[in-house]
């Protein structure tokens, strides 16, 4: 009988600890949401719910991407819309990226802290080798937020900014519930 009481007490403690951790996680998600909202506010970002036309992106207009909580997308540069002759491995025509196509990506990642001097954690903008991944295929090289952003980056050499919640970032961002901003530049490689 004593053994059963000890086991039940242990299970009760485990359940209480699990509930406490869920509350902590929900508080972290709430804090993440607040960080994103504060970043949007202090940066003067205008959030729209309708994707702007190619020529209608303002300097600070961000599209709230449907089906993704707290994910925002902004076109900085449309990219090269001119046609390159067939045979060039980098196609510069309308990209409409297809699943499995190789994407070459350069990025800058920064925190969305409350301080005006945002900290930069990582950048490949000046690196000779871009990150390579297959569009919409599982990859350790590309987080979900990048995959979604590429969908809206229509042309090669397109540049965008995204606000990415932790659940759409890399695994270390998921566990720390840290939202990031990314500056992205892409090329679509076609053979």
Structure tokens of 156?
Answer: 């090669």
Condensed to tens digits (0 to 9), the pLDDT of residues 42-94 reads 999 999 999 998 888 888 999 999 999 999 999 998 887 664 444 444 443 44
Helix (H, G, I), strand (E, B) or coil at 159: strand
Structure tokens at 82: 């001119």
Burial 15-54 (b: 16+ CB within 10 A, else e): eeeeeeeeeeeeeebeebeebbeebbeeeebeeeeeeeee
Q: What is the per-residue pLDDT for 96?
A: 67
Share of the chain above pLDDT 70, in %: 69
Lowest mean pLDDT among 5-9, 56-60, 96-100: 5-9
25-39, 141-155, 171-185: least confidently modelled range? 171-185
Mean pLDDT of all residues in 25-37: 91
What pLDDT score was predicted for residue 89? 45
Residue 104 has a CB neighbour count (10 Å cut-off) of 16
Question: Tell me, what CATH number does 64's domain have?
Answer: 3.10.50.40
Between these two residues, 38 and 54, which has the higher pLDDT value? 38
The number of domains in the chain is 1
> Pick the residue with more confidence: 78 or 38?
38
Q: What pLDDT is stored for residue 87 in this prediction?
A: 45
pTM of the model: 0.76
pLDDT of residue 154: 76
pLDDT confidence of residue 139: 77
135-153 average pLDDT score: 86
Structural domain of residue 69, as residue ranges? Answer: 2-189
């Amino acid at each position: 009988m004593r053994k059963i009481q000890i086991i039940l007490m242990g299970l009760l403690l485990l359940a209480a600890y699990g509930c406490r951790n869920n509350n902590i996680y929900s508080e972290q998600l709430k804090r993440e949401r607040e960080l994103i909202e504060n970043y949007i506010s202090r940066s003067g970002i205008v959030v729209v719910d309708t994707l702007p036309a190619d020529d209608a992106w303002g300097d600070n207009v961000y599209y709230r991407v449907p089906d993704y909580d707290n994910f925002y997308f902004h076109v900085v540069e449309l990219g090269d819309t001119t046609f390159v002759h067939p045979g060039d491995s980098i196609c510069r025509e309308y990209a409409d990226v297809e699943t499995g196509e190789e994407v070459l990506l350069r990025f800058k990642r920064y925190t969305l802290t409350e301080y005006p001097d945002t900290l930069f954690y990582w950048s490949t903008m000046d690196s000779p080798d871009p990150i390579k991944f297959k569009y919409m295929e599982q990859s350790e090289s590309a987080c979900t937020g990048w995959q979604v952003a590429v969908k809206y980056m229509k042309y090669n050499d397109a540049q965008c900014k995204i606000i990415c919640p932790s659940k759409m970032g890399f695994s270390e961002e998921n566990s720390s519930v840290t939202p990031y901003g990314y500056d992205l530049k892409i090329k679509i490689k076609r053979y």
